[in-house]
Amino acid sequence: MAEEKLLSRNDVPAALKWDLKLLYQSDEEMKADFDATKKVVDQFTKLQGKLAVDAKNLLVALILGKQIDEELEKEFVYAFLRRDSDTTDATATELYGMISSQLSTISAQMAFMEPEVVDIDDGVIDQFLTVEPKLAEFKFMLTKIRNEKAHVLSKLEEQLLSRASKSLNAPDEIYNTLNDADLTFGMIHDEDGNEVQLTHGNRSQFTESQNREVRKEAVLAYEKPYHDLRNTFAQTLNSYMGMHNMQADVRHYASAREASLSGNQIDEQVYDTLISSVNSHLDLAHRWYALKKKVLGVDKFYKYDINVPIAGNDLLKTTFEDGKKLTREALSVLGPKYMEGLNQEFDNRWIDAAENKGKRSGGYQISVYQANPFILLNWTDKLYSTYVLAHESGHAMHSYFSQRAQPSEYFEAPIFLAEVASTFNENILTDYLLEKYQDDRQIKIFILEQYINGFIGTIYRQSQFAEFEHNAYQTQAKVGTLTADYLDNMSSDLVDKYYGPSVTPTGTKTQSWAYVPHFYMNYYVYQYATSMAASTALSAQVWNHEDGALERYYDFLSAGGSDYPIETLKRAGVDATDSQYLERAFKVFEQRLDEIEALLA
């Protein structure tokens, strides 16, 4: 599926594209539904100023709000997926722009609800819950809103912020358009000397090449446009972080980080404990790079040498069909209930697999309560793509099970939990592959290196990004401007610290921060690291068939967002407020390092 020249969207086989008819038959049908939803919004707005009158009014408002959210989710996701399928498609871009703009208006119309809810006296809320049993479904939702009382503004202020949301989110939209639609990396040479187009999707096949000149050319070519546009990328990031710092200040938070974490009652100490624990185990990552340098037999181990597989390229080359087969086999340990959901995902075109011109880079999963999850991939026929498939399928099955267990207001798990389900699947896939190929030394080395790269990429690299992100937010709040020079130098210092003395810097500094789309997701990246550490414990329990482990994991998947994430994770068997879960993960990582060192001895 990795082509030298990118296919147009129309040339991609239907089997490799998601079926958006699972949402709507046409753009016109979606627009008609959207018009109907706006009429429900009009009904909702008639309740303004009346939520505290009696329990019935509050219940009606909550039910209408729930209906509106379900319908808007379906309509928005359809337009979002249309746009991401091909960001050069003017019709899709216009459709997405239309609904995004009108969502800002709708958000402003509905913004009166939270201020009115927080203004209701506690005794009155308790009375409402007593006299109207149907309010019980919304009790946790009401509790969450009221816990944020100190940060909810007046009705007028909330409406103003809602109306401004599209403009405030512009840096994110500009970044994604620049990165996915406009950025080009030029032509490079493959191992046969042929000129090929470098893209987001195919770069790994060149950066992992056994030919040092091929991977060097690919890495430097990928870095170049980020460096050329470094001031633009600095400005988009500065604007985005400035917007969140402003909103945190307006809402009376001490910082943007506190604002981001407080809604789910995650103590900032969880963030700081992660960074501290990872920094105290940097020697393990440094040990890996030193080992790799030794095995490759190079005098200097450059950044463009990091991704070349020690065991050789593509020992487990996998097509999309191969990847689905491996994922099915690995995850069968989760039993028939899980496999039923996974088979629906694989057999009903919930996945958009092939890379095409204008398609959004990377991979993600997004769910629709009234329909099903959807997954975006950019398949490359490398084992890495199978890991991405397993990862995103973890998200999809998390949504699948919570959708069947929770009302819509609780079905979406907070990110702190969502990344547990995804990295859980990566760990299970590693255990399965190591068992499957236990008698093949070279393939075991290949799989162990895949695991090590995944662990470093998820725990070490995301913690590096988390340090960068928090420092950038703090500097933006203090100084007011993030310059390209400042961001380059800060990122370079962190890269040197996390990679260690065996890795020699090369190329430009900008790409190490400018290519990260998750910096436009407001304190997202640290949750990859905490989740990987938590899932290491949970997946080991399930893989080893420990008593009650599978049942606890199903309960975790089904919980969605029905409780605060720290509490949901505790019931699954992991306490994220204690650093021991991180220590256990590093112990497993060290054991994997010992294993690959023994194989390479």
Residues catalogued as catalytic: 392
Q: Which two tokens stand for residue 5?
A: 């020249």
Closest CA relative to residue 358, chosen from 15, 94, 85:
85
What distance in Å separates the CA atoms of residue 206 and residue 204, rounded to the nearest whole number? 5
- Our measurement of the distance from residue 141's CA atom to the centroid of its chain's CA atoms, rounded to an integer in Å, reads 24
What distance in Å separates the CA atoms of residue 207 and residue 63, rounded to the nearest whole number? 52
What is the dihedral angle through the alpha carbons of 474, 476, 479, 482, rounded to the nearest 10 degrees?
130
What distance in Å separates the CA atoms of residue 558 and residue 579, rounded to the nearest whole number? 26
Question: Which residues on neighbouring strands pair with residue 365, listed in sequence order?
Answer: 375
What distance in Å separates the CA atoms of residue 525 and residue 561, rounded to the nearest whole number? 19
Query: What are the Cα distances from residue 306, in Å, to 141, 225, 288, 309, 407?
Result: 46, 21, 10, 8, 46
What distance in Å separates the CA atoms of residue 257 and residue 253, rounded to the nearest whole number? 9
Query: What are the Cα distances from residue 76, in Å, to 100, 369, 402, 485?
Result: 8, 12, 20, 38
Report the residue count for the chain: 601
Q: Which two tokens stand for residue 510?
A: 């900008």
State the residue for tokens 């185990």: 281
* Number of Cα atoms under 13 Å in the Cβ half of residue 521: 12
Residue 192 identity (one-letter amino acid): D
Alpha helices in 438-524 (DSSP H): 441-455, 461-479, 484-499, 511-514
Contact assessment for residue 277 and residue 589, using Cβ atoms and an 8 Å cutoff: no
Q: Which two tokens stand for residue 85?
A: 């399928």
Cα angle: 477, vertex 478, 480; to 5 degrees: 65
Helix 549-559, helix 565-572: angle, nearest 10: 160
Contact assessment for residue 373 and residue 399, using Cβ atoms and an 8 Å cutoff: yes
Query: What are the Cα distances from residue 12, in Å, to 17, 360, 378?
Result: 7, 15, 12
What distance in Å separates the CA atoms of residue 364 and residue 375, rounded to the nearest whole number? 6
Question: Which residues on neighbouring strands pair with residue 375, listed in sequence order?
Answer: 351, 365
State the residue for tokens 């503004």: 153
Question: Which residues on neighbouring strands pair with residue 364, listed in sequence order?
Answer: 376
- Identify the sign of the CA torsion 1, 79, 171, 472: negative
Residue 110 identity (one-letter amino acid): M
Phi, psi for residue 465 in degrees, rounded to 5: -65, -40
What distance in Å separates the CA atoms of residue 585 and residue 205, rounded to the nearest whole number? 29
Helix (H) / strand (E) containing 436: helix 415-436
